Chains A and B, each alone.
Chain A
């Protein structure tokens, strides 16, 4: 599997460490009302879709950036790669 890194071009997936669903970027507020339940869902429950999946990969053997990769879990086809930092900043700006 090759991952098209936004800066470095096609890189072997072996250079990366996989974390999982990109929803892990959306950590709930631990001080909010009902935080225990929200954190349980955040930490343990997954959509685990068959098809398009947005997921976090860490370029550990490369430039050490976190990427949000959109990949099809049925075909392994990668359709979009973004820096996780950009995704998080955009989310902050939208709020």
Chain B
């Protein structure tokens, strides 16, 4: 069923009784050409592009819980393509272009809202670094603007401009950045993939791989054995646990990132604002809640909850940046588990096991990458060659020295 204004009117006249379910709930078949492990944003996006763009229809997506129950439902919904390095910027800009046409592509309202992202500048050195980043963005067509303090003041007058220690001296702005309704991304991809013949199998946990002579034959699951020509793993947060079942160790640690939302307020924040002196970023949802977050907690964990010191740190960042936030009450807070990689960049690559492909290591930047990650992973699964924008995301880059370290932190995952 296509969603449209006419359809809405028709269903409205009939009491909204004819919508039906958005995707099927099939039993797993004995085997598939491609099995994707992980029914989150990236796995579902992979299934969508695999079936729609690359014409591979015999596909299953296996999900341990329910689709969209992991990080795609736990992030702060920000999209942007404001990276510096050559390995990253074309990929994230490709993702931004896919976001811009996502709703037409999926026939689903994902509430893509390009309300702009503003990275604040507090020192002269930071202005130099941001100017350089802005130029790198322009080289790949992402667009960027460098604002001075007066221009920033005009747009967001409520910030604390004259903080003695961290005065606001300007901002790097990407107008095409913004936010997207995160759950709708998972649902939209799921619905589209399902319409193109993909089986979405929920409550199906992978318990092992059947690998013979260096080739993967299928997957053991809680719902029985499923044969597979190719297996794509997209389970960021739990990548190490799943790939360990195939005998692999990854350059990844799992860490928790907390996020927060305030009570609903009248419109105050026009776009996304990031504090350049501490780690704090904030936007306002369509319901009015201020959605914000900061640093990861910094120790290995699989518990989807964090500790109080980071809550304090985030609150301090918020109040330093915009003192008015001190009057808002916190409504909810939660945590998601991140694949923190050794250089802060992701992986979309084949493994040494024939037929086993890996997508992960998204650190805390996976949501904005969802469309391009799915597209590039589908390209890899369908053609056995990396997508043009994802050639740098190799698993062996630490061996070869071709790291993509945006922050220049080295092999210390909790600092990226």
Q: In the complex where A20-B300, A74-B302 touch, is A50 in contact with B241 (Cβ < 8 A)?
A: yes
Contact B302–A43 (Cβ < 8 Å): no
Q: Contact string, A18-52, partner B, CB cutoff 8 A, digits 1/0?
A: 11110000000000000000001101111111100
Q: Contact string, B232-266, partner A, CB cutoff 8 A, digits 1/0?
A: 00000010110010000111111000000000000
Q: Would you call A75 an interface residue if the criterion is a C-beta within 8 Å of the partner chain's C-beta atoms?
A: yes
Contact A76–B301 (Cβ < 8 Å): yes
Q: Which of B238, B303, B399, B414 contacts A20 (CB 8 A)?
A: B414
Closest beta carbon of chain A to B22's beta carbon, Å:
32
Q: Would you call A80 an interface residue if the criterion is a C-beta within 8 Å of the partner chain's C-beta atoms?
A: no
Contact partners of A71 in chain B: CB under 8 A: 299
Q: Would you call A7 an interface residue if the criterion is a C-beta within 8 Å of the partner chain's C-beta atoms?
A: no
Closest beta carbon of chain B to A34's beta carbon, Å:
13
Contact A20–B251 (Cβ < 8 Å): no
- What is the total number of residues of chain A having a CB less than 8 Å from a CB of chain B? 25
Q: Would you call B342 an interface residue if the criterion is a C-beta within 8 Å of the partner chain's C-beta atoms?
A: yes
Q: Would you call B104 an interface residue if the criterion is a C-beta within 8 Å of the partner chain's C-beta atoms?
A: no
Closest beta carbon of chain B to A25's beta carbon, Å:
16
Contact partners of B251 in chain A: CB under 8 A: 44-46
Q: Would you call A73 an interface residue if the criterion is a C-beta within 8 Å of the partner chain's C-beta atoms?
A: yes
Majority SS at the chain B contact face:
mixed
Q: Which of B252, B253, B298, B411 contacts A43 (CB 8 A)?
A: B411
Q: Which of B241, B249, B309, B414 contacts A45 (CB 8 A)?
A: B249
Separation of A77 and B207 alpha carbons in the complex (Å):
26
Contact partners of B413 in chain A: CB under 8 A: 20
Q: Which of A14, A48, A49, A76 contacts B252 (CB 8 A)?
A: A48
Closest beta carbon of chain B to A79's beta carbon, Å:
15
Contact partners of A1 in chain B: CB under 8 A: 299, 307
Contact partners of A19 in chain B: CB under 8 A: 412
Separation of A57 and B252 alpha carbons in the complex (Å):
19
Contact B309–A20 (Cβ < 8 Å): no
Closest beta carbon of chain A to B77's beta carbon, Å:
27
Closest beta carbon of chain B to A11's beta carbon, Å:
13
Contact B240–A48 (Cβ < 8 Å): yes
Separation of A20 and B300 alpha carbons in the complex (Å):
7
Q: Which of B253, B303, B309, B399 contacts A46 (CB 8 A)?
A: B253
Residue of A nearest to B396 (CB): A40
Q: Which of A13, A43, A74 contacts B303 (CB 8 A)?
A: A74
A42-89 contacts to B, CB under 8 A, are 43-50, 53, 55, 71, 73-76
Contact partners of B300 in chain A: CB under 8 A: 20-21, 48, 53, 55, 73
Residue of A nearest to B299 (CB): A18
Q: Contact string, B282-326, partner A, CB cutoff 8 A, digits 1/0?
A: 000000000000000011111100010100000000000000000
Separation of A45 and B254 alpha carbons in the complex (Å):
13
Contact partners of B342 in chain A: CB under 8 A: 43-44
Contact B309–A13 (Cβ < 8 Å): yes
Q: Which of A14, A48, A75 contacts B253 (CB 8 A)?
A: A48
Contact B299–A46 (Cβ < 8 Å): no
Contact partners of A41 in chain B: CB under 8 A: 249
- Further contacts, 10 of them, CB under 8 A, given A20-B413, A45-B251: A1-B299, A13-B309, A18-B414, A21-B253, A43-B398, A45-B249, A48-B254, A73-B302, A73-B303, A76-B307
Mind listing 30 A-B residue pairs with CB under 8 Å? A12-B309, A13-B307, A13-B309, A18-B414, A20-B253, A20-B300, A20-B412, A40-B399, A41-B249, A43-B342, A43-B398, A44-B398, A45-B250, A46-B249, A46-B251, A46-B252, A47-B244, A47-B249, A48-B240, A48-B252, A48-B253, A48-B254, A50-B241, A50-B254, A50-B302, A53-B300, A55-B300, A73-B301, A74-B301, A74-B302
Q: B-side interface residues toward A, CB under 8 Å?
A: 238, 240-241, 244, 249-254, 298-303, 307, 309, 342, 398-399, 411-414
Closest 6 pairs between A and B when the two form their complex, measured CB to CB: A48-B240, A44-B398, A45-B249, A44-B251, A50-B302, A18-B299
